[in-house]
Amino acid sequence: MPDDQSFDLAGCLARVRIHDQIAARQLVEHLYPLVIRIVRAHLPRRVAEEDLAQEVFLKMFTRLEQYQGAVPFPHWVSRIALTTCIDHLRAQMRRPEYRWADLSENEAEVLEAITADESGAAPDEALEARELVHRLLDQLKPADRMVIQMLDLEQKTIAEISSLTGWNSSLVKVRAFRARRKLQKLFAELKKKEGS
C-alpha cells in the first residue's frame, strides 16, 4: 500500500481522466512503491524491473476508463501488476529441471543445513536461502508460484491474496496445495540427487 495517506487519490484520478500530465506523474510516483514491490517479488529472470513497472503503469492508464471503483484503486493496480508479472512468467522459457549440480557451493551448504537439522540456515546465509527459494519457485507454474510467494514469503493471508489477485479463496487454496505438492517433489528429488 502506498505510504502517503494525505494523497488525494480521487482528485488525482479525476485530473488524469482529463489528460492532466502532472496528475499522471503524481499518480505514478504515489503508486510506484506498491507496484515495484509486486514486480520485484514476481520478477521473471532476464526482465528489468523498471521495464516491467513501466508496462504495469501504461496498462493502468490505458484501462483507467474501465475502473468502476468496485475495489480500492491500489488493489485494482495490484491486480494489473500481478497479471502482467504472470504473463511475463508464462512467456519465460520453461527452465530445465533443477539439479543438485546446479546449486552454488553456498546454496548446497544451506540446503544441507536446512534438510539435516532443525536449526535452519545461519543468518548470514539468508541471501543464499532466498536465491534457493526463488530457484525452486521458478519451477512452478506462474500462478502457483505467485500464491506460494505471497503465502510463505510475504506471509499474506488467503483473504489478502484473494483480494489482491481477484481469485476466489478456493482457487487460492487449490493453487497453494498444488504448489506445495510440487515443491515437496522437487525437494525430494534434490535430496535424492544429493545422496547419490
Partner 1 sequence: MKNTHQAWERLVSAARSYPDERDVKAPYGFATRVAALAMAAERPVVSFVEHFSFRAMIAACSLAAVVVAANYSSIRSLYQEQTPVASDDPVAEMIDLAS
Q: How far is the CB of 3 from partner 1 (least distance, A)?
A: 9
Q: Which of 69, 155, 195, 196 is the binder for partner 1 (CB under 8 A)?
A: 155
Q: How far is the CB of 89 from partner 1 (least distance, A)?
A: 19
Closest by Cα among 131, 176, 132, 168 to 150: 176
Q: Which of 1, 11, 29, 45 is the binder for partner 1 (CB under 8 A)?
A: 29
Going by C-beta distance under 8 Å and a sequence separation of 6 or more, which residues neighbour residue 61?
16, 24
Q: How far is the CB of 54 from partner 1 (least distance, A)?
A: 6
**For partner 1, which stretch binds (CB under 8 A), given 91-99, 156-164, 168-176, 184-192?**
184-192
Our finding on whether 61 is near partner 1 (CB under 8 A) is yes
Distances from the Cα of 25 to the Cα of 10, 13, 80, 148, angstroms: 15, 11, 18, 33
Our finding on whether 110 is near partner 1 (CB under 8 A) is yes
Beta carbons of 80 and 56 less than 8 angstroms apart: yes
What is the separation, in whole angstroms, between the first and last Cα of the chain?
47
Our finding on whether 47 is near partner 1 (CB under 8 A) is no
CA distance 28 to 36: 11
**Rounded-to-5 percentages of helix, strand, coil across the chain:** 75, 0, 25
Residues near partner 1 (CB under 8 A) are 19, 21-22, 24-29, 32-33, 36-37, 40, 50, 53-54, 57-58, 61-62, 110-111, 114-115, 118, 120-121, 123, 125-127, 129-130, 132-133, 152-153, 155, 180, 183-184, 187-188, 191
